[in-house]
A = this chain, B = another copy of it.
Amino acid sequence: MLVIVTYDVSTESKEGRRRLRRVAKTCERMGQRVQKSVFECQLDETQFEALERDLLEEINLAEDNLRFYRLTEPYQMKIKQYGTFRSIDFAGALVV
């Protein structure tokens, strides 16, 4: 399945900026960065659970926000993008 991960991490404190780096690093291991805080990840159920667990260990629920948009095949989703960053087409079907 394709999982879109988006996050807002509060960066007012040093601790928050540290969380932000760790959240990004965790996502980088599992998917493709398409914006500063948006990742597209092609995952199976086990990988998704691992990613979710890892991210929940990093974020502060009182200050941050984390969202998963999770799709199962057949993908009903279409992706359109404009601007500077070109997503790497790592799964053959992500970029329209």
Number of identical monomers bound together in the oligomeric complex: 2
Which single member of B59, B70, B81 contacts A66 (CB below 8 Å)? B81
Q: Which residues between 21 and 37 of chain A lie within 8 Å of chain B, taking CB atoms?
A: 34-37
Describe A's contact surface by its main secondary structure.
strand
* Given A6-B38, A7-B35, A8-B36: A77 and B69 interface contact (C-beta under 8 Å): yes
Q: Give the interface size bracket for A toward B.
A: 35 or more
The CA-CA distance from A63 to B35 in the complex, in Å, is 12
Question: Distance (Å) between the CB of A57 and the closest chain B CB?
Answer: 11
* Given A34-B67, A35-B6, A35-B7: A72 and B76 interface contact (C-beta under 8 Å): yes
Question: Distance (Å) between the CB of A60 and the closest chain B CB?
Answer: 8
**Chain B residues closer than 8 Å to A77, beta-carbon distance:** 69-71, 76-77
* Given A76-B74, A77-B77: A82 and B69 interface contact (C-beta under 8 Å): no
